């Protein structure tokens, strides 16, 4: 084991030079350190020089060598962890930071990084244990409290998230991001008034676009549309908001009639489907309306009333007089209630034929059990195919999957592949999806763009919703949607509990809600129908 030469004057000079990013001088200091016999320290500092320039591949072998020569140095193990994280080797980085925290429990940065790494790579139990151990040693650290509260919120542990945010804000009452995320945790816990107070406090402290947007989501979920859309319109000011498809002035009410307005999608496909209804409002005001949507929506969007043309990212720019992002359009166009522009407002094209159902089938039901895994709320909103298994024993039903991606692969590998027809090869775009939905008696879907599509077509659909982290469009604790009257909502009573939701769906089907009545079932106005709206029972483990 080499001597600890970290206090050598040349080592201190190198650290100062690295701090002011004079890397050539720092390398020269390392050369002199080597000549002075402090070879191990020179190796370590060369690794830090490369690490400071984000050259993880060059820094890793140097830091690894230094760590092997001086295994008791916590600073070397810590920075080796940083380099491993930069190289995408997060589990190895976590191992390094565990070594640091065991040798130097007061190394706060190591605890912070370890907690984040475990949160990203390990299970819920290990994450909770690591954060709790860190907070035992550093009980008032702002970053640990904030990150732990956010982790609990993502895991659906709303009560613990609320408690942690409360603890955080008592110590750091001017921390605007803490107030913002406390509002999210309180919303998930169903404490809407307290969530609104926290979010408004965040706005007072920072006036951030994110806090305004979150306030909009809170208000819209409560049906406070005029005020909610005013705050929701801040979305296009978020740091990660997409720019307009091409340069044009932002729309204002002073724009003369006859002008060409680009109404463009600045969110996902489901948002675009919902707000395509606003094209008609622009036309009613005398504008020529061009819409910009995702490529797969092109044919479908062309069926919206008032649309003069549809462009996608694959099309060349068009000459327009103004642009209007869909997220800002409801506020600027004065939309203050959902019923103003009721479906159906989209139509399907020529349908591909559904696979023939079994002769005894009396109802055709489509299924979507998972959304885009990249969606921020996918952990809560998506379910597994196996969660729907109780439905497949119901007789006289022809089941069809409208699931794409991994979900379609899961069906092909499942015991139900012969019971559920896979329509994914027919789903070439949203227009084809619309045509297939038009041939179904019912769609059962989690909160995805397919549910929006069924609603925009005016087709019957049952939407299965998570507890807490529910999109604003579905309101709070209601069985119907103001935006889509043909939809019926089935809500979890406990986070992650899809079992009782599926039981409620099965009861509704047995009671004839799809036109199939089973012998001995209660009528549709019985208690069984109530269960189909709000699931009951204990959460599953």
Phi, psi of 286 (to 5 degrees): 95, 10
* DSSP secondary structure letter of residue 390: G
For the segment 357-402, what is each residue's pLDDT rounded down to a tens digit?
777 788 999 999 999 888 888 888 999 999 999 999 999 999 999 9
pLDDT of residue 408: 87
CB 462 within 8 A of CB 505: yes
CB 401 within 8 A of CB 450: no
Neighbours of 523 (CB within 10 A): 10
Separation between Cα atoms, residue 281 and residue 297, nearest integer Å:
20
For the segment 236-289, what is each residue's pLDDT rounded down to a tens digit?
999 999 999 999 999 999 999 999 999 999 999 999 999 999 999 999 999 999
Burial class of 119 by CB neighbour count within 10 A (0 to 12, 13 to 18, 19+): buried
- Of the chain, the percentage scoring pLDDT greater than 90 comes to 82
Domain 9-234 in this protein, CATH class: mainly alpha
Separation between Cα atoms, residue 158 and residue 296, nearest integer Å:
37
Separation between Cα atoms, residue 462 and residue 168, nearest integer Å:
40
The H or E element spanning position 58 is helix 56-69
Burial class of 521 by CB neighbour count within 10 A (0 to 12, 13 to 18, 19+): middle
Residue pointed to by tokens 């119901």 = 394
The H or E element spanning position 499 is helix 499-510
Separation between Cα atoms, residue 294 and residue 288, nearest integer Å:
20
Instruction: Give the pTM.
Output: 0.86
For the segment 56-108, what is each residue's pLDDT rounded down to a tens digit?
999 999 999 999 999 999 999 999 999 999 999 999 999 999 999 999 999 99
pLDDT of residue 44: 94
Confidence of residue 533 (pLDDT cuts 50, 70, 90): very low
Strands (E), 454-497: 461-465, 487-491
pLDDT of residue 469: 83
Q: How far apart are the first and last CA of the chain?
A: 50
* Residues across the chain: 541
pLDDT at 541 over 50: no
Q: Which fold has domain 260-341?
A: Rossmann fold (3.40.50)
SS3 call for 356: coil
Of 490, 473, 478, which is closest to residue 277 (Cα–Cα)? 473
CB 236 within 8 A of CB 266: yes
Domain 363-533, second-level architecture: 3-Layer(aba) Sandwich (3.40)
Token pair for 540: 């599953």
Confidence of residue 503 (pLDDT cuts 50, 70, 90): very high
pLDDT of residue 522: 52
Separation between Cα atoms, residue 182 and residue 190, nearest integer Å:
12
pLDDT of residue 320: 97
Give strand pairing partners of 420.
399
CB 261 within 8 A of CB 282: yes
- Residue ranges per domain, the chain? 9-234, 260-341, 363-533
Neighbours of 520 (CB within 10 A): 6
pLDDT of residue 529: 33
Separation between Cα atoms, residue 261 and residue 251, nearest integer Å:
7
For the segment 396-450, what is each residue's pLDDT rounded down to a tens digit?
999 999 999 888 889 999 999 889 999 999 999 999 999 999 999 999 999 999 9
Same fold, 260-341 and 363-533: yes
Separation between Cα atoms, residue 61 and residue 324, nearest integer Å:
52
């Amino acid at each position: 084991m080499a001597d600890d030469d970290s206090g050598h004057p040349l080592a201190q000079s190198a650290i100062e030079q690295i701090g002011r990013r004079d890397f050539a001088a720092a390398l020269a200091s390392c050369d002199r350190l080597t000549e002075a016999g402090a070879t191990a320290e020179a190796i370590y500092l060369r690794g830090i020089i490369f690490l400071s320039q984000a050259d993880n591949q060059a820094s890793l072998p140097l830091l690894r060598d230094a760590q092997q020569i001086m295994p008791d140095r916590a600073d070397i193990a810590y920075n080796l962890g940083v380099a491993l994280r930069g190289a995408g080797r997060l589990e190895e980085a976590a191992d390094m930071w565990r070594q640091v925290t065991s040798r130097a429990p007061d190394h706060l940065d190591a605890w912070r990084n370890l907690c984040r790494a475990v949160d990203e790579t390990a299970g819920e139990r290990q994450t909770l244990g690591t954060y709790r151990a860190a907070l035992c040693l550093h009980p008032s650290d702002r970053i640990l409290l904030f990150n732990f509260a956010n982790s609990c919120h993502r895991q659906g542990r709303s009560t613990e998230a609320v408690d942690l945010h409360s603890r955080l804000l008592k110590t750091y009452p001017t921390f605007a991001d803490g107030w913002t995320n406390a509002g999210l945790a309180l919303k998930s816990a169903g404490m809407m008034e307290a969530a609104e107070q926290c979010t408004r406090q965040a706005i007072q402290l920072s006036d951030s676009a994110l806090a305004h947007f979150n306030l909009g989501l809170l208000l819209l979920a409560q049906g406070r549309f005029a005020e909610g859309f005013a705050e929701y319109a801040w979305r296009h000011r978020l740091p990660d908001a997409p720019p307009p498809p091409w340069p044009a002035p932002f729309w204002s009410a002073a724009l003369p009639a006859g002008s060409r307005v680009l109404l463009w999608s600045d969110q996902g496909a489901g948002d675009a489907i919902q707000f395509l209804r606003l094209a008609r409002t622009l036309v009613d005001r005398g504008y020529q309306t061009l819409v910009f949507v995702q490529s797969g929506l092109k044919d479908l969007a062309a069926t919206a009333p008032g649309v003069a043309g549809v462009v996608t990212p694959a099309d060349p720019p068009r000459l327009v007089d103004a642009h209007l992002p869909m997220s800002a359009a409801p506020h600027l166009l004065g939309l203050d209630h959902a019923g103003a522009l009721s479906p159906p407002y989209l139509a399907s094209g020529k349908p591909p034929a559904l696979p023939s159902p079994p002769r005894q089938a009396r109802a055709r039901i489509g299924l979507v059990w998972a959304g885009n895994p990249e969606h921020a709320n996918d952990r809560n909103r998506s379910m597994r195919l196996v969660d729907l298994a109780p439905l497949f024993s119901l007789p006289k039903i022809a089941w069809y999957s409208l699931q794409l991606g991994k979900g379609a692969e899961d069906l092909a590998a499942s015991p139900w592949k012969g019971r559920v027809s896979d329509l994914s090869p027919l789903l070439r775009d949203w227009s084809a999806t619309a045509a297939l939905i038009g041939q179904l008696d019912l769609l059962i879907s989690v909160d995805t763009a397919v549910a929006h599509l069924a609603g925009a077509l005016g087709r019957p659909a049952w939407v299965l919703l998570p507890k807490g982290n529910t999109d604003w469009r579905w309101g709070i604790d209601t069985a119907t949607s103001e935006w889509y009257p043909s939809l019926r909502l089935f809500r979890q009573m406990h986070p992650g509990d899809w079992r009782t939701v599926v039981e409620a769906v099965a009861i509704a089907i047995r009671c004839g809600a799809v036109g199939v009545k089973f012998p001995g079932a209660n009528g549709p106005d019985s208690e069984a129908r109530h269960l189909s709206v709000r699931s009951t029972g204990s959460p599953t483990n």
